[in-house]
């Protein structure tokens, strides 16, 4: 028997991806990291923090099978849909939104590669690479930003370890701890 409610029911992967995206957004918008001498509370600063935290989630989902790949893709879709909406809210014209989204996607993929490499390096070398990447991309090489970059690197490294300790079922259901 066919049911109309089945047609409108959200798919588990979409629900899990929405929950994961919401948690990544909460982590990326931690007010402790924004303000004078910290991450710029601007669209660019927020994008960089969101990219950094999404990279940690995607590193955890990497090479975990089809469901993890589909979940990561759905998180990506939600993220870029939100960015598209934000650009329109900021008054970017319809003709320019596509170009801006393409540039953001290129930046996103470039940052993801750097952050994944750093997260996969063990010990002090990994922390140094991660801290440097955060200082360059998130803090835009601010002279006073190196200490904050090291703090953020430690935070996301610890969070990556927390996520690695989770079983796949937990994270694929949309549940994960926030960074400490």
pLDDT higher at 93 or 107: 107
Whether the pLDDT of residue 73 is over 70: the answer is: yes
pLDDT at position 7 = 52
Token pair 């540039």 in the structure block, residue: 103
- pLDDT averaged over the chain? 92
For 131-152, the pLDDT digits (tens) are: 999 999 999 999 889 999 999 9
pLDDT at position 94 = 81
The span from the CA of 70 to the CA of 149, in Å, is 31
pLDDT at position 77 = 97
- pLDDT-derived band at 9 (thresholds 50, 70, 90) equals low
Whether the pLDDT of residue 112 is over 60: the answer is: yes
Which of 140, 131, 116 is CA-nearest to residue 61?
Answer: 116
For 19-44, the pLDDT digits (tens) are: 999 999 999 999 999 998 899 999 99
Contact criterion met (CB below 8 Å) for 76 and 19: no
Supply the pTM of this predicted model.
0.91
> What percent of the chain is modeled with pLDDT above 70?
94
Domain ranges of the chain: 11-172
């Amino acid at each position: 028997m066919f049911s109309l409610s089945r047609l409108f029911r959200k798919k588990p992967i979409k629900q899990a991806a929405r929950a994961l995206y919401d948690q990544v957004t909460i982590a990326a918008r931690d007010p402790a990291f924004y303000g004078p001498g910290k991450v710029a509370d601007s669209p660019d600063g927020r994008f960089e923090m969101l990219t950094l935290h999404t990279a940690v989630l995607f590193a955890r989902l990497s090479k975990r099978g089809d469901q993890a790949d589909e979940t990561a893709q759905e998180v990506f879709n939600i993220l870029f849909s939100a960015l598209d909406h934000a650009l329109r809210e900021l008054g970017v014209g319809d003709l320019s939104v596509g170009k801006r989204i393409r540039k953001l996607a290129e930046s996103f993929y470039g940052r993801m590669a750097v952050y994944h490499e750093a997260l996969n390096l063990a010990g002090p070398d990994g922390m140094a690479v991660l801290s440097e990447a955060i200082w360059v991309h998130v803090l835009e090489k601010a002279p006073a930003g190196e200490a904050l970059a090291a703090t953020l690197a430690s935070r996301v490294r610890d969070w990556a370890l927390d996520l690695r300790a989770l079983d796949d079922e937990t994270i694929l259901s949309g549940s994960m701890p926030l960074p400490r």
